Structure 1
Amino acid sequence: MSAAAEPTIWDRSRLGITVGTVVLIFLAAIESLAVTTVMPIVARDLDGEALFAVAFSATISTGVIGMVAVGAWSDRSGPRAPLYTAVALFAAGLLVSGFSSDMHTFILGRLIQGLGAGGQTVALYVVVARVYPPQLHGRIFAAYAAAWVVPSLIGPFLAGAVTEYLHWRWTFLGVAVLTAAAFALVVSRLRGVSLDADAGSDADGPADAAERPRGGIALRMLLAVLVAAGAVTVGLAADAPAAAGGPIALAAVLVIGFSLLPLLPKGTLRAVSGLPSTVLMRGIVAGAFFAAEAYVPKLLIDRFGFSPTVAGLALTLAAIGWSGASAVQGRYGDRLGSARITWIAVLLMLTGVAGLLFVSAIGADPWIVIVAWGLAGAGMGLLYPRLTVLTLAYSTTANEGFNSAALSIFEASGSAVTIALAGLGFALLPVLGTGYLTVYLLAAVLLLFSLVPGLRMGDGAGRTVSAESAPR
């Protein structure tokens, strides 16, 4: 077959699906980065400072439920209805948040949005498996990865400008409108396209369906709900009386821990060498990084009077650092090895957090925050794809799905719980008169602790996987 006749993701039969799904991911990325920039303004406008962290953890928490539910639904009846439902929930959540008149309604919208965001990702991956031939999977996933690059660079600045010159509500309502337009394109192009499991290969036929575990979905759904409810409860504890907030949060964390155990590789919480430590590392560093990042624009806006547009530059520089370091990891990751990457990455992130602590403690030049957070982003960029590569390297065809899901679930859970705990600490345990130090100290402690699993990850089980293809 000539090169001109080879199928591509841009063929006429797939063009609309490719464009529509890439735009959906692009918009989800824009919104995810925009929220971090505008949340200080939202919390102030809706008189919801105590619930600041819940606005982040709520979406991450319900995203776990969306992942599990849509994965099971897609296996049973194909991805069409799950995808349509997930996108509708995502848009509905944006509308509820955008039109909200109080912080509780805003958080309700974030909860709905999380269900859709988590489910949308899973449904799109199943659509890829059913619509694109195997030789095109790498190309469409590369397009999806590229859909995060531009939002990472312009999303925070754009969200700040929209908030400053229009209103923060348009960062939600505008994305909702654009999502509806992209969704309409996807629906029109999927009409008449077979998304049945047996449309691709014989391996997906009745025999495979008969081998699916029975009763497992119900248990996973229950556990996902418990994890999400626990993470949201930790965040809501910040709005409870001081004497009750701590015990409520502790009980919720215990529920989360027990609920997560069946969803993770054995030995994860004990930092057993290999895959368990890899999964544990992902949850710890993601929690530390994203919890600290949630309070970076807030520090610049509330303490130093930066505009949302300028405050967003810290997130932009972190995104540039993340992207550049990811490229280094893709080229030199195997040569550096997991232990060396762990030391370099954790040192970069600790340097970034130290800059935040320095500025928040003594009121030093706030521009240090922007530079420091760029270094932290580089640390995450160096480490993050390595963890995905190691997970696949430690997996076989029999457990790739479970291990990949465990990595995503623990990342989401670790991020949600840490952000919620940071919010609780910010509200109830101010250090030296400022809650910012509490948040950044929590991040620093977690990063130091991450060295335990980080140095026990190893370098895989001999299976080579391209680091450049690992998703963010």
Structure 2
Amino acid sequence: MSEPTLPQTEPRATLREVFAGRRGRLLIALLLSEFGAAVQGLAYSTVLPVTAADLHGSALYGATLAAGSLSAVLVLSAGAGIVVRIRPAILLFGATGLYVVGVLLAALAPTMSFVLAGNIVRGIAAGLLAGFGLSAIGGLFDDRTRPRVFGLFAMVWILPSFLGPAANAAITLAFGWRWAVAWPVVIVVVARILVGRQADVIPWERAGERVRPLNGLIVVAGLVLASVGSGLVDAPSGTTRLTVAVALLALGLIVSIAGSLRVIATAARSRGRFALIATFFLLCGGFFGLEGLLTVAVIDGAGGSVAAGAVVLAAALVAWTLVALIPWNSWLSTPTRISAGCTVLVIGIAGEIAVQVVSTGQVAVVAAAAAALFAGAGMGLAYPALSSAAFDALAPARVAVVATAVAFGETAATSVGSLLGGGTYSLVSSGSGELTTRAGLVLSIALCGGAALGAVVLSRRTREASPAGATAAPSSA
């Protein structure tokens, strides 16, 4: 199996080139679909507390919140066995149908259990479509243009992140939570119709890739264990219960991380590609874990306002987007960009830890924003380079397999990161009277830093395992 080659320098890929022809029209449709999915996901996050109160389903709140990501992880961790057996247009139609069913189950729900079921169905659809979208990008864009494409997908999340929660809250107040849940389906369905019109341009050939449900069950079981552990202690209730909670959280994280690396290794089939996707997994785990803690770190740790917390979070997201859009490949090599991005993320996380240790008030908020800018810039450097390099020098028959592994890496890392950071903080802050809020935040952020540090170490392996060389031949599509 050939290793991915990481070229030292590449000619600059222009946006005009990226959006040219039918593949450009397909890319626009995929970006619109991603935008709709972002709005939909933020709608659920915004209105779910209102939904739970209205349907008297608070007991199912946590399960409903996690259901979509867990079912997506399960689908993606089973491998590309489904994707490689179904033509892209048929897969798109089926997954979109599941998505609409999931939204309707939630929007028309008479009880909270229907919302839970809807999120499970939506998660299955999201898992299928994540593999589909990355397969299209991996098959249509060559090694030179692909990093620019992945940079564009980061940009799509900026507008929903800023305006989505406020818009959905306004819709909820004016028309009710059901409309807030339902309205983004229009954007998503229109976008997927546009994708379907160009789907025949996507390279595809039927393959006999195995479906591996056991891998997915191991990962999901670990995530469930960790979730149970993080929520087991809701008050200082004795050493025994706290010990059990810590053990469950630690065991769940170990199982889910080990299972995730097993899924990635099964798909990669080479040391170089495994190092790339595993680095991507750890990078995403570190950043998304930190992202979930930024607001609480500013408000509870540094004594800032809710608005200050939102600004710090926005700083990380904006930095990610802007840095990802810069055409670094014209002068900065891919291996250097990956290593630099992982290192800058670690610096940003270290800065957030320093804020909790040495400062409070306005100075702490400014310092936290600066550290968040570093963390976001690290993602902007490494994220598009890693997700793109996983497809370098890849045989066409393997594109769907690697695409599914990359999509799995990000989806699983989001769940693992939220438990590594937020789950640890939840457990520590509710179950121990011995640690202050800031000490709990330092511990939680440091664990996210551990994941990012692992990405730094593995990024060196990507350089060693994948010596620089010529890029793969450009796609003819």
Please, what TM-score do these two structures have when normalized by structure 2? 0.70
Task: Assess if the C-alpha contact under 8 Å between 2:51 and 2:177 holds in 1.
Answer: no
| Counterpart residue type for residue 436 of structure 2 | L
- How far apart are the structure 2 equivalents of 1:359 and 1:52? 36
Match status 1:256 vs 2:260:
no
| Counterpart residue type for residue 263 of structure 2 | L
Match status 1:8 vs 2:21:
yes
- How far apart are the structure 1 equivalents of 2:95 and 2:254? 30
Q: CA deviation at 1:121?
A: 2.6
- Structure 1 unaligned residues grouped into runs of 5+: 1-6
Q: CA deviation at 1:74?
A: 4.2
Q: CA deviation at 1:442?
A: 1.6
Partner secondary structure for residue 457 of structure 1: helix
- How far apart are the structure 2 equivalents of 1:392 and 1:300? 38
- How far apart are the structure 2 equivalents of 1:339 and 1:185? 32
- How far apart are the structure 2 equivalents of 1:444 and 1:436? 12
- How far apart are the structure 1 equivalents of 2:449 and 2:195? 48
- Structure 2 counterpart of 1:116, from 120, 125, 137: 125
| 1:12-411 mapped onto 2 (5 Å cutoff) | 21-32=30-41, 38=46, 58-67=67-76, 71-93=80-102, 109-124=118-133, 146=152, 148-152=154-158, 154-162=159-167, 165=170, 167=172, 173-174=179-180, 176-180=182-186, 182-183=188-189, 186-187=192-193, 190=196, 204=205, 209=206, 212-213=208-209, 216-217=210-211, 220-241=212-233, 242-243=241-242, 244-257=244-257, 259-260=259-260, 262-265=262-265, 274-300=272-298, 306-307=305-306, 311-326=309-324, 327=326, 329-334=328-333, 337=336, 341=340, 344-354=343-353, 357-358=356-357, 365-393=364-392, 395=394, 399-411=398-410
- Identical positions, percent: 18
Deviations 1:268-307 (A, max 9, x none): 9xxx974433333222221111011012234456775745
User: Aligned residue for 1:432?
Assistant: 436
Q: CA deviation at 1:200?
A: 8.2
Please, what TM-score do these two structures have when normalized by structure 1? 0.70
Q: Which is further off, 254-263 or 285-294?
A: 254-263
- How far apart are the structure 1 equivalents of 2:342 and 2:30? 37
Task: Assess if the C-alpha contact under 8 Å between 2:229 and 2:245 holds in 1.
Answer: yes
- How far apart are the structure 2 equivalents of 1:364 and 1:94? 44
| Counterpart residue type for residue 214 of structure 2 | L
Change (3 A) 1:122 1:324: same
How many pairs does the alignment contain? 435
Change (3 A) 1:141 1:380: closer
| Counterpart residue type for residue 91 of structure 2 | P
Q: CA deviation at 1:318?
A: 1.9
Change (3 A) 1:371 1:194: closer
- How far apart are the structure 1 equivalents of 2:92 and 2:217? 20
Task: Assess if the C-alpha contact under 8 Å between 2:135 and 2:400 holds in 1.
Answer: no
User: Aligned residue for 2:447?
Assistant: 442
Deviations 1:184-223 (A, max 9, x none): 57459958x996xxx988x84xxxx4x624xx21xx2332
- Structure 2 counterpart of 1:455, from 460, 463, 466: 460
Partner secondary structure for residue 185 of structure 2: helix
- How far apart are the structure 1 equivalents of 2:232 and 2:221? 16
Change (3 A) 1:363 1:39: farther
- How far apart are the structure 2 equivalents of 1:305 and 1:40? 26
| Counterpart residue type for residue 225 of structure 1 | L
Change (3 A) 1:429 1:81: same
Partner secondary structure for residue 155 of structure 2: helix
CA RMSD of aligned residues (A): 5.0
- How far apart are the structure 1 equivalents of 2:135 and 2:278? 27
- How far apart are the structure 2 equivalents of 1:296 and 1:35? 20
Partner secondary structure for residue 461 of structure 2: coil
Change (3 A) 1:91 1:288: farther
